[in-house]
Amino acid sequence: MKDVWSKADLHIHSSHSDGLARIPQIMEHVQEHTDLSVIAITDHNTMEGALFAKSLEDMYEFEVIVGEEISSRSGHIIGLFLEKPVPAGLSAAETIHRINDQQGIAIIPHPFSKRGVFGPFGRNGFLDAVSELAFQALEVYNSIPYLVWANRVAAKVFAGGQGIAATGGSDAHVLKGIGTGYTLFRGTSAEDLRSSVKNLETRAETGSGGLGMAVRYAVRIPQIRRQHAWNWERCASE
Ligand SMILES: [Zn+2]
Ligand SMILES: [Zn+2]
């Protein structure tokens, strides 16, 4: 087995949902300003941006995973390695089922936040919920500062050993956010990452950012909110 470890940011938004950066900008940024080997574009309820990024992949030295951050009825769920989109508005179990059906990887992002699947369960109901849902990975680090507390709880539960991989992603909505949270995996390619998740050998890490990120998000929040509103309207009309 290869003993090379690489970084992947598995949670990135583009202008195809509520991110501020367009796909070509994201691709250039990752190439020029990060040491990521793999990225996943995970827009809210659409694969358009991810497919566009995938089509540009050959021009760059990193690999792209086609993903989607799906709004299930109980919260956000990320699907990676998708072939076809999973619609919003299904139950968490059905959403995960549809991801697994196409050999995708289901990740629960920001698990205890307001739009997190385990938000309503809290710390105590978490273990029961975990055993009911057949997801593959839990996003342990998410660099948006207000999630620091939730991350700590997630890490504690995860440490209990549920047989779930830990992944990290930035949940970047701006270029500078990309890579601030990432997954360390064995190998270099997207397929290596998939095996690493299956073998539970990924590690979630967070880069520097902290206060700087908080300030950037504070400045950008009105704009992100507007785009959120636009996106949710679009989801509602589907
Ligand atoms: Zn989310
Ligand atoms: Zn997100």
Go through the domains of the chain in sequence order and give each one's CATH number.
Answer: 5-236 (3.20.20.140)
Ligand nearest to the backbone CA of 13: 2
Tens digits of residue pLDDT in 8-32: 999 999 999 999 999 999 999 999 9
Q: Please, which pLDDT band fits residue 213 given cuts at 50, 70 and 90?
A: very low
Which ligand is the nearest neighbour of the Cα of 172? 2
Question: From its phi and psi, is residue 182 left (phi > 0), alpha (psi between -120 and 50) or beta?
Answer: beta
Phi/psi at 232 (5° precision): -70, -35
Separation CA 102–CA 90 (nearest Å): 16
What is the Å distance from ligand 2's center to 54 Cα? 19
Is residue 236 scored above 70 in pLDDT?
A: no
Q: How far is the CA of 196 from the centre of ligand 1 (A)?
A: 23
pLDDT in tens, 86-111: 999 999 999 999 999 999 999 988 87
Whether residue 165 is predicted with pLDDT greater than 70 in this model: the reply is yes
Distance (angstroms) between ligand 1 centre and the Cα of 118 equals 12
- pTM score: 0.82
Q: Please tell me the distance between residue 16's alpha carbon and the centre of ligand 2 in angstroms.
A: 12
Residues with CB under 5 A from ligand 1 (ion): 76
Distance 44 CA to ligand 1 centre (A): 8
